[in-house]
């Protein structure tokens, strides 16, 4: 027996009615399960994800259609504005997709968009808090990296710049390590209704002892996501080159938006199923330790 997803009660280890069996999953099963999740719930998943993907694709499409080489325009339309949209729109999209995933794991019953929103809405404040905390860490890291570049090109501070550059390069593995350790925090926050600090600690607890496995699962999931984005980008670029910017705006941007929405929903599904998988594995490990301790008494 293992605990139901997000603590809903005990269930058997036999295959359940949802998109994946109620047992620990292999990496490939997590990836395939996330694909099934998107295909089985296209309306709530894609519409929720389009809340983020469509404005981002439109902004980037405007930048591409303008064909501007002005660094300010490039930074605005390909960097700053999409990042701000991500900060503002990713939390509700993530919460709605995770709310849909919970039902998809427990039952194949279709989820309507309003139901997903009602389940996600109470967790939005905490999810924004988590997003801001993570964004703050990333911004500090980027400022340090930018400072290293500026110092390294300045003759008067080249030595200090070199030292800072080494420190920044050394920080990349640390950032990767922290990213994997905290990757399950949004799921814990939404589905286990934990506050921000507890969700971060919960993610660390679930990943402990399985860091490489979690990283491998995320990398494996990145392959189909990259393929979808590559195909969509190729089609959009081809339309732009053959038929000009109007075709790119009319057809290319929607193609990119739908592809990005599918990738976003798929990615959230992956971390949601990975959270569930690690939850089951931790319980099995604890039960095994408990059994050994009982035998030793």
> Running DSSP on this structure, what letter comes out for residue 9?
-
Two tokens, residue 140: 């500090």
pLDDT digit of tens for each residue in the chain (297 aa)?
Answer: 333 444 444 444 455 567 888 888 999 999 999 999 999 888 889 988 888 888 887 777 776 666 555 666 666 766 777 788 888 889 999 999 999 998 888 766 667 778 888 888 899 999 999 998 888 877 777 776 666 666 666 665 556 666 666 766 777 788 889 899 999 999 999 999 999 999 999 999 999 989 999 999 999 999 999 999 999 989 888 887 888 777 777 888 888 889 999 999 999 999 999 999 999 988 876 666 555 555 555
CB distance 221 to 30 below 8 Å: yes
User: What pLDDT, in 10s, does the model give residues 60-111?
Assistant: 777 666 655 566 666 676 677 778 888 888 999 999 999 999 888 876 666 7
d(CA 81, CA 104): 33
Residue-wise pLDDT for 126-144, tens only, equals 999 999 888 887 777 777 6
- Helices 27-40 and 211-243 sit at what angle, rounded to 10 degrees? 50
Q: Tell me how far apart the alpha carbons of residues 149 and 293 are, in angstroms, rounded to a whole number.
A: 55
> Domain extents for the chain?
2-122+208-296
Residue 71 CB-density burial (10 A; 0-12 exposed, 13-18 middle, 19+ buried): exposed
Q: How far is CA 135 from CA 44, 86, 120, 162, in A?
A: 26, 10, 21, 26
Is 112 within 8 Å of 48 (Cβ atoms)? no
- The residue whose two tokens read 């500026």 is 150
Question: If DSSP codes are grouped into helix, strand and coil, which group holds residue 5?
Answer: coil
């Amino acid at each position: 027996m293992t605990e139901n997803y997000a603590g809903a009660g005990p269930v058997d280890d036999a295959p359940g009615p949802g998109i994946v069996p109620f047992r620990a999953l292999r990496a490939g099963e997590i990836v395939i399960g996330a694909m099934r999740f998107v295909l089985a719930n296209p309306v709530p998943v894609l519409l929720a994800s389009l809340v983020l993907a469509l404005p981002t694709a439109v902004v980037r499409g405007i930048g591409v259609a303008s064909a501007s080489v002005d660094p300010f325009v490039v930074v605005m339309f390909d960097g700053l504005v999409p990042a701000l949209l991500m900060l503002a729109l990713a939390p509700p999209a993530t919460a709605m997709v995770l709310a849909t995933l919970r039902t998809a794991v427990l039952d194949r019953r279709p989820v309507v968009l309003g139901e997903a929103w009602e389940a996600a809405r109470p967790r939005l404040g905490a999810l924004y808090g988590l997003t801001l905390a993570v964004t703050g860490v990333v911004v500090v890291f980027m400022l340090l990296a930018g400072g290293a570049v500026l110092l390294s090109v300045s003759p008067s501070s080249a030595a200090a710049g070199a030292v800072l550059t080494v420190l920044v390069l050394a920080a990349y593995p640390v950032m990767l390590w922290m990213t994997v350790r905290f990757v399950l925090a949004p799921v814990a926050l939404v589905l286990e209704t934990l506050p921000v600090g507890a969700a971060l600690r919960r993610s660390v607890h679930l990943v402990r002892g399985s860091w490489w496995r979690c990283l491998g699962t995320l990398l494996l999931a990145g392959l189909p996501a990259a393929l979808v984005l590559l195909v969509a980008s190729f089609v959009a670029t081809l339309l732009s080159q053959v038929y000009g910017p109007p075709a790119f705006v009319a057809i290319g941007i929607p193609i990119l938006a739908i592809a990005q929405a599918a990738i976003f929903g798929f990615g959230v599904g992956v971390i949601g199923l990975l959270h569930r998988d690690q939850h089951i594995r931790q319980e099995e490990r604890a039960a095994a330790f408990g059994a050994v301790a009982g035998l030793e008494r």
